[in-house]
Structure 1
Amino acid sequence: MRSPLTLPDAFWQKASALLLFSILLTSSFIAHAQPTAPKARNFTRSAHLMGSHFTFTAVSADDSLAWRAIRAGIREAQRIDRLCSYWDSTSQITQVNRAAGLHPVVVDQEVYDLIARTLKLSALSGGAFDVTFAGGEKIYKFDRQEHAALPDSAVVRASVRRIGYEKVLLNPAAHSVMLQEKGMRMNLAGILQGYGVRRAQALMKQMGIQGGLINGSGDVSCWGRQGDGSLWRIAIGDPAYPQSVSSWLTVTDMAVVTAGNYEQYFTVKGKYYGHIINPHTGYPATGLRSVTIICPDVEVADGLDEVVFVKGPEEGLAFINRLQGIDCALITNAGRTLTSKGMTANYYSNPKSQAASASKP
């Protein structure tokens, strides 16, 4: 019988070392081979909606989900536009206008509720916001040119004769709407983009988008955080220098709506008249070039910017200061910046422009 082969201890030590190295190498390879979890990032798409430029941003680690949510948001804004557009011959608002002075029109509950909210804002603002403003006659040409004079005062008074939110009759049982006088017209443009942004945001959040931003031509609403974890930075333009920024805000879960009165205007003897009309007087609202409203609800903010424009710098600022959870930043015709009591913003210093003094009366 042959005796068993006996290997030296040095051999077993070397073999054990090689085996341990092989295990470590394999473990390292497996660790590196496993894919890392995708990081959340911003996905953005633009669209032409409601006659304006919109951008939709969704934050997600799932690119398929992000693009589906953005497409869903765009479709939602399109649906609302078809339902409520003043210019769409098939919209329910057009049906209400055609029946003015004749009979009530039954509308969807969604449309009825939206109109009811606009009437509440009209009452709260003392008519500075008026959903029947479309009944006013077009007597101005906002061509950025110097005009010889304003229209005759009698013409101006007659131009707003058919404006009056008090003449809108609502029937909550039938959810019907009626304009009492022939020639009256309703237009939700003063609040519709904000409502479209709000509904699109709600749908995107419902689909699982934890962070995002929608900008409907200056009607901005954001939630959550950006892909890198930072808050959203919203710029406020400088009316004196188009395409430039006067200040910015860093926010989340907030709406920031900015309206300018400096793209559609004319002048008379050097005095500036913007396109927003005071529904009480028929004359263009004066005193302000830019209004920014900050509050949690983009629909509310969209309506309030027009209220402040019509009321003017002092009265408009006082109006906002009486509201809870709402702030504003105003830029006057003279270039002054006025802010509400709770407003905080970051201001750029532009040596080429006149220094705007931030004040809180």
Structure 2
Amino acid sequence: MSYAGPEFDPAPPPRPRRGRRALIAALVVALAAAGVAVQRVVTGGPGDGGRADAAPSSDSRGTASGSPTAGLKSPSPDGDSAPSVSSTARPPAGSGPLRGKVVVIDPGHNTGNAAHTAEINRTVRIGNGGKECDTTGTSTDAGYAEARFTLDVSRRLRTLLEEQGATVELTQDGDRPWGPCIDERARIGNEAKADAVVSVHADGSSAGARGFHVILPGTVTGGGADTRPIVGPSRELGERIAGNFVRATGSAPSDYVGDGTGLVTRKDLGGLNLSKVPKVFIECGNMRNSKDAALLTSGKWRQKAAQGISDGIVGFLGG
């Protein structure tokens, strides 16, 4: 599959920045015209706009309060910092092209799952069978946990989508000791009546395998599941994300699943089977591959990953 062409959205044009002198001059003129005596104009340096390694994050399912980690920064393996919580940096709700749209982001796994094996090992129904509530996820050979990766990318992604005016909810924001179970993750998206849901993951395949892939729901009916209404729109969402992910990150589609398309259809994932709204998973890379691991542990690359996923969602939602 080619990821170039009209089916994928062009990169958004960079926002022009006004220089310090121009900003001061504009402020002086405006104040003088209003008859206000100008004594001093103080300006700050340009912000990072949520890019690079300083993407602001928030907590407690899309709000900026209530989390025990609020206001804290956690180190990442390459010296980057995870996005810090900043309620004042959050854009006004519904003030962009995605105004009125609801997106649910599902950070895969939970760093606390390993300490709650009894809870995550219990079986839940997924429509066409049963599966464990959740798993611990994988990690790089150096011990960087998939759950840390998924939460970091999800927070960055939330910031980017909120800048576009979307209402964004996370299924977990480091605010619960384990889980949630896969059936609850699906239910959160359903109850939010989300226009799109993306579950963020990283794979744990063999060391020689590389690349990302997007997992699409197959047709599953029965046992409380009926994916028929969402198979088509979920594929469109997945194609948009795959194409934009290539462009934003420079990563290639998986060389071990998907026949080079970066798209895989599965019927054994409860988070997809039980969804009533368009939903996909993205495996952003293989944590067991040294080259992929170098990317996954880089804050700068994680920001690119979040940007690629965001661009795909925005394209799907027509923003």
TM-score, structure 2 as length reference: 0.25
Larger Rg over CA atoms: 1
TM-score, structure 1 as length reference: 0.23
Structure number with greater CO (CA < 8 Å, separation at least 6) is 2
Which one has a larger percent strand, Structure 1 or Structure 2? Answer: 1
